[in-house]
Amino acid sequence: MSLAGILYGGYEALLANEIKDKPVPSHVAIIMDGNRRFAKKHGLAYYYGHFKGADTTEKVLDWSFDLGIKQLTVYAFSTENFERTDEEKNRIFELIGIKFDKICIDERTHKRRMRVRVVGNIDQLPPSLRTSAKHAEEITKNYDGVYLNVALAYGGRQELIDAARKMSWKIRTGELYLKDINEDTISNNLYPASGSMPCVDLIIRTGGDERISNFLPWQANGNECAAYFCAPFWPEFRRIDFLRAIRTYQTREHERQKNTVMRIVKLLSYYGLVEVEDVISISRKFIKIPKEEVIKILHELSYHNAVMHNMIKW
């Protein structure tokens, strides 16, 4: 093995150990950008980039499963992508259809009990791709181990428009009343419907651009999810890049938990010296956090803040 390979393996092991035993995101969404630029960089036809990118997607599925991530959403084809040439669109549609067909017979799908769902307006897709997508959904519809959501013919603004139209029609037919509309109502009318796509915890974008491109605005923005932007084009995306993204989520999650615990301590301090058990009890009601993690955060806050230290009765 080369020196570069040894160093890479060591760094990958270091990252894996760093994120071990820490919370992982339940729902990761990925903007897989850079396929065409990757092909251009290597002097190859654009469709080579799409084929290599599809291979990367399979690897990420494996990495996600290994870490215990419940939901993975991949941005496979946006509404803006319809502006590309017919030749490129047909190549992409053919490739995606092949991957759907492969999912149906892949033993990993059934061993993991992976449910496949298409997110988007599939009526805009060619019949052959619609058939492959619906077949994958049908084959896996009873699975609930992990979820693969494939965003096809998807645009975040269009999703909200379509949801508004659905609710408008339901109001018109008496199925829904205006006064009953709330966040859950909107969620239940988004793709793929029935509120089955939870809030996003982490968005990853490859290719160097730091924007989320009209991707899952309702599911991501309302949850104030973490975002990880990286330079590698999608076909170049490595496991160390994925682990770095998870680390970014964990860092943000730790800061969020720390801020919540700190506010609880300050609130309880108005009633006298703060009991550690009270902080633990209240913290676990607001955020899903182990008792040991609350104690760790309290020690961290006390160490760096003398005022905070004096508030707490150990």
For range 141-153, the mean pLDDT: 96
pLDDT for the residue 266:
87
pLDDT for the residue 209:
92
Does the pLDDT at position 55 exceed 70? yes
Instruction: Spell out the residues 6+ positions from residue 276 whose beta carbon is closer than 8 angstroms to its own.
Output: 295, 298, 312, 313, 314
Closest CA to 79 of 160, 168, 184: 160
**Is-catalytic flag, 33?**
yes
Helices 291-304, 276-286: axis angle to 10 degrees equals 120
pLDDT for the residue 146:
96
Other C-beta atoms lying within 10 Å of the C-beta of residue 289? 20
Does the pLDDT at position 3 exceed 90? no
Kindly indicate the confidence band of residue 222, based on its pLDDT and cuts at 50, 70 and 90: low
pLDDT for the residue 311:
78
What are the domain boundaries of the chain?
Answer: 25-237, 254-313
pTM of the model: 0.89
Residue-wise pLDDT for 278-301, tens only, equals: 888 988 888 878 888 888 888 888
pLDDT for the residue 29:
97
Does the pLDDT at position 189 exceed 60? yes
Closest CA to 109 of 65, 76, 68: 65
Distance CA 225, CA 252 (A): 9
**Is-catalytic flag, 184?**
no
Residue-wise pLDDT for 233-256, tens only, equals: 999 999 999 999 999 999 999 898
pLDDT for the residue 58:
97
- Measured at the alpha carbon of residue 242, what is the angle toward residues 63 and 109, in degrees to the nearest 5? 25
Residue 146 belongs to what H/E stretch? strand 146-154
- Measured at the alpha carbon of residue 142, what is the angle toward residues 138 and 147, in degrees to the nearest 5? 85
Closest CA to 208 of 187, 182, 186, 229: 229
Closest CA to 125 of 165, 167, 81: 81
| pLDDT averaged over every residue in the chain | 91
**Amino acid residing at 118:** V
Does the pLDDT at position 197 exceed 90? no
**Amino acid residing at 263:** R
Instruction: Tell me 200's DSSP state.
Output: P
Does the pLDDT at position 195 exceed 70? no
User: What are residue 313's phi and psi, to 5 degrees?
Assistant: -95, 110
Instruction: Spell out the residues 6+ positions from residue 20 whose beta carbon is closer than 8 angstroms to its own.
Output: none
pLDDT for the residue 217:
87
The one catalytic residue among 17, 21, 33, 209: 33
The one catalytic residue among 81, 188, 214, 223: 81
CB 21 within 8 Å of CB 194: no
pLDDT for the residue 194:
45
For range 301-309, the mean pLDDT: 79
pLDDT for the residue 242:
98
pLDDT for the residue 205:
98
> CATH for 25-237?
3.40.1180.10
